[in-house]
Chains A and B, each alone.
Chain A
Amino acid sequence: MIEAVINFWEGLPVVMQIMTKITLIVAPLMLAVAYTTYAERKVIGYMQVRLGPNRVGPRGWLQPIADALKLLTKEVILPTNANRFLFLIAPVLAIMPALAAWAVVPFDDGMVLADINAALLYILALTSMGVYGVIIAGWASNSKYALLGALRSAAQIVSYEIAMGFALVGVLMAAGSLNLGDIVRAQQGVSVTGWFVWPLIGLFLVYFISGVAETNRAPFDVAEGESEIVAGFHVEYSGMAFAVFFLAEYANMILIAALAALLFWGGWLSPFGGLVSESVLAVPVLGWFLGDGIHWFLMKTAFFLFCFLWFRATFPRYRYDQIMRLGWKVLIPVTLVWLFGIGVAVALGWQPWVV
C-alpha cells in the first residue's frame, strides 16, 4: 500500500509534485490565517473579560468561515478617480511575498519546498517587498487618509527593516550559514542550551520588536491607526480586496512567528533532546512527542503568534515620532554593538553555542 503511494508519487511529473507541495503548505496556512483571526478575537476578548465571538457554530468556531463568506459576497467598490489597475493589484502585491516566503521555511528536518543556500536573504528580500502593497494601495485609492497611512507605513517598514536585517546577520554569523535548515541544525545541543536565543538574546528582542513593526501590528499599527486616519491605507477597500489585505497581514504574522522559532528557538528541535534515552524515544506516542519533530516547530510558532495578540491587548499605540526614535536610535545601535560582540567571539574562536 505505502509502496504503491510512493511509486505513484515518484511517477508524477516534477511540476505536479511541486504543485502538490505548494498546496500542502498554502492550504493549511490559509486555514491557520482564518483561525488566527478567530483566536485573536477570543484571546483579546478573554483578556478584556469579554466572551468574544460565540454565536456561529459551537463556541463560535465557524465565525471565520462566516466572515469569509460575507466578504466574498460583498461588492468591491472602486473609488472615483482611483487608478483601477493599481487599486486592484495592490492586495495581490501585499499577499504575494507573504506566501512566497514560505517556500524556504523548513517544517522538519528536510521538510522544505525549496532548500536553497541563500534562504535567509530570500526571506529578507521578499518581506521587504510587502510594503509595495501598502504604498500602492494608499496612492491608488485617491484618498487623503489612505495616502497618509501609506506614507507612515513606508517610512516605518523601511526603518525597521534595517534593524531586522542586522538581527538576522547576527544569526547567520553564529550559524555560519544562510540556509534555514542548517541554521536550525547548528542549534543542536543538550536540551535548550544550543538554541541561539541565549547568546543572541538582544538580537532576538530586536528581531521580534521589528517583526511586530514590519507587520503593522499594534503597538506599531500607525499605518491603520483607526482613531487618527480611519483605517489607513485600506480605508477605500471593501469585500474580498479588503480581506486579501487582512490575509496578507496575518500570513506575515505567522511567518515572523515561524522565523522567530526557527532562527532563535531551535525550530523543530525538541527541548528534551539529549535528556531522554533512546529507549524512551522508541515508545510509540511519548517517544514521538519528546523527540524532534514538526510539532515542536508548530508549538513554538503558535506561542509567538499568541505574543502578537498579547501585545495588541496590552500596549497602547506608539506615537509616530517615537516609533522612528525606537527604530533608529535604540534598536539599530543595540544590533550594531551585539554584532561587534559576535564578530569578536567568532574571530577568537570562542563559540560556546557550537557544540
Chain B
Amino acid sequence: MNFEAFLFYFFAAIVVGAAVAMITVRNPVHAALFLVLTFFTSAALWIMLEAEFLGIVLVLVYVGAVMVLFLFVVMMLDINLTRMREGFMRFLPVGILVAVAMATVMSLVVVRHFRVDAPERAAADYSNTEALGRILYTEYVYPFEIAAVILLVAIIAAIALTLRRRPGTKAIDPAKQVRVSREGRVRMVDMKSEGKS
C-alpha cells in the first residue's frame, strides 16, 4: 500500500465513521458537527481526485456557510428528544424498507457504471479550476445561466415570503438619523427675560 492509498483509506474511514456517527448520536449539535467533519474529509477525498476546485468550494460553501447557519439554528432550538423518538418501532419497518430500496439502487448504479479504470493522471500544470470554468462558460453556458436565474428567483421568493413589516417596531433607519438637522429638532423661541419686577 503506497502513501496515496493510505491517505485514501484514512480519509474514507473518517467519512464513513463521521457519517454513521452523525445519524446515531443523540445530541443535535454533535450530529451537525459530525456532518461538518464528513464534508471536510469528503473535500479531502475530492482533492485527492485532482478536483481541487470542487473540494475547496465544498469547504467554502458547505462547511464555511451552510453548516454555520445550520449550527446557528440547532444551537438555539430546544429539541424535545423524547417526542422525536415516539413511534420509533411503528415506523421501523417503513424505514428499513426505504433503506433497503436505496441501498439496492445505489449498489446497482455503483456496480454497473463505476467499474472504470482509473483515469490518466493529469499533467502538473493542469488546473482543475480553469478546466471547470472553461466547460461551464462554453459548453454548458445556458444550463449554468438558467440555474443561476432559478437560484435568484428562489432567493427573492424566500425574502418575499419572510419579509413582513411589523407595525410598532422601534427600529431606527440610520439614513434618517444621519439626515437630521438642527431645524428639525430644536425650536428657537423668543421670550422676554423674567426679571424681578
Q: A residues touching B (Cβ–Cβ < 8 Å)?
A: 86, 116-118, 121-122, 124-126, 128-129, 131-132, 135-136, 139, 147, 150-151, 154-155, 157-158, 161, 178, 321-322, 325
A–B pairs, 9, beta carbons within 8 Å: A117-B52, A117-B129, A118-B53, A128-B63, A128-B65, A129-B64, A131-B68, A135-B72, A147-B75
Q: How far is the CA of A128 from the CA of B63 in the complex (A)?
A: 8
B12 within 8 A of A: no
Interface segment among B18-26, B54-62, B77-85, B141-149: the answer is: B54-62
Q: How far is the CA of A86 from the CA of B27 in the complex (A)?
A: 13
On whether the beta carbons of A322 and B174 are closer than 8 Å, the reply is: yes
Chain B contacts for A139, CB-based, 8 A:
29, 71, 75
On whether the beta carbons of B52 and A124 are closer than 8 Å, the reply is: no
**Given contacts A161-B65, A321-B171, are A125 and B129 in contact (CB under 8 A)?**
no
Q: B residues touching A (Cβ–Cβ < 8 Å)?
A: 29, 33, 36, 52-53, 56-57, 59-60, 63-65, 68-69, 71-72, 75-76, 127-130, 171, 174
Q: Name the residue on B nearest A179 (C-beta).
A: B127
Chain A contacts for B29, CB-based, 8 A:
139
Q: Name the residue on A nearest B129 (C-beta).
A: A118
Chain B contacts for A125, CB-based, 8 A:
56-57, 59-60, 63-64
Q: Name the residue on A nearest B66 (C-beta).
A: A158
Chain B contacts for A325, CB-based, 8 A:
174
9 residue pairs, one from A and one from B, having the closest CB atoms: A128-B64, A125-B59, A125-B60, A117-B127, A121-B56, A125-B56, A154-B72, A118-B129, A139-B75
Selected contact of B56 from candidates A118, A161, A322, CB within 8 Å: A118
Interchain nearest-CB distance for B66 vs A (Å):
9
Interchain nearest-CB distance for B148 vs A (Å):
14
Selected contact of A121 from candidates B60, B75, B130, CB within 8 Å: B60
**Given contacts A117-B52, A158-B68, A321-B171, are A128 and B127 in contact (CB under 8 A)?**
no
**Given contacts A118-B56, A151-B75, are A132 and B68 in contact (CB under 8 A)?**
yes
Interchain nearest-CB distance for A177 vs B (Å):
9
On whether the beta carbons of B56 and A132 are closer than 8 Å, the reply is: no
Chain B contacts for A124, CB-based, 8 A:
56, 60, 64
Q: Name the residue on A nearest B53 (C-beta).
A: A118
Interchain nearest-CB distance for B39 vs A (Å):
11
Interchain nearest-CB distance for B189 vs A (Å):
33
**Given contacts A117-B129, A129-B64, are A122 and B56 in contact (CB under 8 A)?**
yes
Interchain nearest-CB distance for B50 vs A (Å):
11
Given A118-B53, A136-B33, A161-B64, 5 further pairs, Cβ under 8 A = A117-B130, A118-B127, A122-B56, A124-B60, A158-B68
On whether the beta carbons of B53 and A129 are closer than 8 Å, the reply is: no
Chain A contacts for B128, CB-based, 8 A:
117-118
On whether the beta carbons of A128 and B60 are closer than 8 Å, the reply is: yes
On whether the beta carbons of B76 and A151 are closer than 8 Å, the reply is: yes
On whether the beta carbons of B72 and A151 are closer than 8 Å, the reply is: yes
Chain A contacts for B53, CB-based, 8 A:
118, 121
Chain B contacts for A117, CB-based, 8 A:
52, 127-130
Chain B contacts for A178, CB-based, 8 A:
129
Q: How far is the CA of A321 from the CA of B128 in the complex (A)?
A: 40
Q: Name the residue on B nearest A326 (C-beta).
A: B174
Interchain nearest-CB distance for A167 vs B (Å):
15
Q: Name the residue on B nearest A116 (C-beta).
A: B52
